[in-house]
A = this chain, B = another copy of it.
């Protein structure tokens, strides 16, 4: 008895919060501006999510789920592993994916600085991408997959900061070249 719960309200707030965090980042995130952008107030955010920390945790997981859904755009029609890698790079370095990458880097830096709530998330993300490369490129080793993920992460960071995509894309092209030549040697 009593009034029925309305879980869709909470879900809508969460999705809008993901939008906001993808745009503004986690760094200076504050409940009151966030709530105002969501058409509510800080009181309701605490009511629905318990605390700011729990809200951030849910936002991170929801953002990750959203990115995984976008991963479906990467059809498996690649002919060879190098074409698959190039498609993956083009997908990940596209402007639409940039907010997700920025958010992940933010979490990773937080993890590096010892924030425990980010450490598990960051490690899982790294292992997840390495696992994705491992299964996308049959026959690859963990060392090779770690190299690929690390290189792409480093180049993407460069591009997101400098915006010098010709240079960064050239570097990625060089990476593909040495990978090809290395497999022949």
- A109, CB-defined interface residue at 8 Å: yes
Whole-angstrom distance between the Cβ of A55 and the nearest chain B Cβ: 19
Instruction: Scan A147-185; emit 1 where CB is below 8 A from any B CB, else 0.
Output: 101111111011011100001101111110111111111
The main secondary structure of chain A at its interface with chain B is helix
- A126, CB-defined interface residue at 8 Å: yes
- Whether B185 and A181, one on each chain, are in contact in the complex, defined by CB atoms closer than 8 angstroms, is yes
Give the size category of A's interface with B.
35 or more
- In Å, the complex CA distance between A112 and B146 comes to 24
Which of A7-15, A43-51, A56-64, A100-108 is near enough to bind chain B? A100-108
Task: Say which residue of B27, B142, B178 sits within 8 Å of A167 (CB atoms).
Answer: B142
Task: Say which residue of B106, B119, B158, B175 sits within 8 Å of A126 (CB atoms).
Answer: B158
Contacts A110-B27, A177-B182; A150 near B123 (Cβ below 8 A) = no
Chain B's closest residue to A154 (CB) is B154
- Whether A111 and B161, one on each chain, are in contact in the complex, defined by CB atoms closer than 8 angstroms, is yes
* Chain B residues with CB under 8 A of A127: 162
- Whether B112 and A174, one on each chain, are in contact in the complex, defined by CB atoms closer than 8 angstroms, is no
- Whether A170 and B143, one on each chain, are in contact in the complex, defined by CB atoms closer than 8 angstroms, is yes
Task: Say which residue of B105, B181, B184 sits within 8 Å of A109 (CB atoms).
Answer: B105
- Whether B157 and A150, one on each chain, are in contact in the complex, defined by CB atoms closer than 8 angstroms, is yes
* Chain B residues with CB under 8 A of A144: 171, 174
Indicate the member of A108, A158, A173, A177 with the most B CB atoms within 10 Å: A158
* Chain B residues with CB under 8 A of A152: 154
Q: With contacts A105-B109, A106-B109, A157-B157 known, what are 7 further pairs, Cβ within 8 A?
A: A27-B27, A27-B110, A109-B109, A144-B174, A150-B155, A151-B175, A153-B153
